[in-house]
Amino acid sequence: MIITRALGGGVVTVATFNVENLFARPKAFDPLDWSAGEPILRAYGEFNTLIANNTYTDADRERMRDLLVELGVYYRNTHGAIRRRPSQTPAWAWLRKNRGSFDREPRDATESVEIIAAGRDDWIGWLELATEPTDEIGTRMTANVISDVDADIIAVIEAEDRPALARFNHEMLDRTYRHVMLVDGNDERGIDVGVMTKPGFPIGAIRSNVDTEDATGTVFSRDCPQYEITTPAGTVIHVLINHFKSQSGGGGEKRKRQADAVRGIVDELVGDGEHVIVLGDLNEGQPKIDEPPINLANLFDSDGPLISCYDLDGFDTGDRPGTFDTCSIRSRLDYILISHSLQPAFRSGHVFRKGLWGIRKTRPTAWDTYPEMTAAIHQASDHAAVVIDLDT
């Protein structure tokens, strides 16, 4: 028999917000022209896959060299030779080399760099995306959104790391949040997921799922960290934060695997009588208002353990149904799903778009925006925040 833990009293506000990094962002993540950065991110991913090989073939070395040219680590000089680029401010990436030898650059400027490592054991190093500071106004708008949402528990998507999140809380939010936690995930680009909770909402047990595998391999692009959070009334809620595979290059099958894995975790928790919230940027919109995201169907199963905030009576999406850029239904990427045990506690919810400008050149007219924002570069994020109130 399943025994669900009793709900207490007192309104608790829960939110999710993709902040698109707080202080520094990889240069390839250009919110105004995603197509420009996609080839760079593909090259970055391919290079890091190749260097993991135990043995480098001649074809591997040739391909790695071509990728490093594309990434701006190498360049072709006036002689047509491939050489190391001597720059303290690389266009896209750094090649970090700690030990061993990866490449050799001949003194003769007419000769190209040669990759001499025989395999992964020959050297210790990695490719790291170059970053640049986020816009100062944009950072302040991010703080405005979080302050105005005023959530007791907020999932923060695309934070650089825990020190950055803690610094943001201290410097921009006047230490509103007592608990700030972020567990490094599988993404090497500094776009992790974290959580902040106010005083009275302690974080208990924490479980990472970075090593979760299925028949295909590693499941989560970032992680699906589980936080056991207790409300002031004593209600224990298991909060699962997610940032599913992006739509770059499709990614539908990967998102399906991730949704299936989250469903498995939720089934186990609900089976033990626990209250559960799944939230974050799931990176897939709905084809229609009354149709769930195709690859996320396992999370939206009408006979399953969860219900989407958008299907709860009293949730207000405003004049647009989505949460990303134009906010169409297909741009509904951000979600909060609660276990049925929490459904009686739901009081209200909404989409908060005041920090969202999108890629358009003129100010959005379908929702209110902060007056300090005068261009897309100033937006808090190209995602809206999603908020619900629970009487727990």
The string of pLDDT tens digits covering residues 26-45 is 777 765 555 667 888 889 88
Distance CA 152, CA 232 (A): 10
* pLDDT given for residue 33 in this prediction: 57
Residue ranges, comma separated, of all CATH 3.60.10.10 domains in the chain are 11-23+134-391
Q: Does 347 or 124 have the greater pLDDT score? A: 347
Going through 301-391 in order, the beta strands assigned E by DSSP cover 306-308, 315-316, 334-339, 346-352, 385-391
What's the angle, vertex CA 157, arms to CA 156 and CA 159, rounded to 5?
85
**Confidence grade of residue 226 (pLDDT, cut at 50, 70, 90):** very high
Between the alpha carbon of residue 57 and those of residues 103, 111, 140, the distances in Å are 14, 21, 49
* pLDDT given for residue 298 in this prediction: 97
**Confidence grade of residue 90 (pLDDT, cut at 50, 70, 90):** confident
**Confidence grade of residue 1 (pLDDT, cut at 50, 70, 90):** very low
319 contacts 366 by C-beta, under 8 angstroms: yes
Q: Highest-confidence range of 40-49, 127-136, 361-370, by mean pLDDT?
A: 361-370
pLDDT at 8 over 60: no
Torsion of CA 38, 44, 48, 49, to 10 degrees: 30
Correct CATH for 11-23+134-391 of 2.40.170.20, 3.30.70.420, 3.60.10.10, 3.40.50.970: 3.60.10.10
In three-state form (DSSP H/G/I as H, E/B as E, the rest C), the secondary structure along 59-78 is HHHHHHHHHHHHCCCEEECC
Which stretches within the chain are classed as H helix?
34-50, 58-70, 136-149, 162-172, 252-271
* pLDDT given for residue 74 in this prediction: 95
Average pLDDT, the chain: 92
Q: Residue 48: how many CB atoms within 10 A of its CB?
A: 14
| pTM beyond 0.95, yes or no | no
Q: Is 166 helix (H, G, I), strand (E, B) or coil?
A: helix
* pLDDT given for residue 35 in this prediction: 62
Q: Residue 216: how many CB atoms within 10 A of its CB?
A: 9
- Give me the mean pLDDT over the 179-184 stretch: 95
Between the alpha carbon of residue 325 and those of residues 118, 167, 189, 330, 331, the distances in Å are 46, 27, 22, 10, 7
- Give me the mean pLDDT over the 368-374 stretch: 96
Q: Residue 341: how many CB atoms within 10 A of its CB?
A: 19
Backbone angles phi, psi at 114, to 5 degrees: -120, 130
**Confidence grade of residue 137 (pLDDT, cut at 50, 70, 90):** very high
Distance CA 140, CA 143 (A): 5
Burial 308-322 (b: 16+ CB within 10 A, else e): bbbebeebebeebbb
Distance CA 183, CA 162 (A): 8
What percent of the chain has a predicted confidence (pLDDT) above 70?
Answer: 96
End-to-end CA distance of the chain: 23
pLDDT at 321 over 90: yes
pLDDT at 230 over 90: yes
Q: Residue 27: how many CB atoms within 10 A of its CB?
A: 19
Distance CA 161, CA 186 (A): 13
Q: Could you tell me the sign of the dihedral formed by the alpha carbons of 40, 44, 50, 51, in that order?
A: positive
pLDDT at 116 over 90: yes
Q: Does 33 or 240 have the greater pLDDT score? A: 240
**Confidence grade of residue 20 (pLDDT, cut at 50, 70, 90):** confident
| CA-wise closest residue to 207 among 190, 221, 215, 195 | 195
Lookup result for tokens 């996320």: 296
* pLDDT given for residue 6 in this prediction: 56
* pLDDT given for residue 332 in this prediction: 98
211 contacts 219 by C-beta, under 8 angstroms: no
- Give me the mean pLDDT over the 166-195 stretch: 92
Lookup result for tokens 């090259």: 43
Distance CA 12, CA 5 (A): 17
* pLDDT given for residue 4 in this prediction: 52
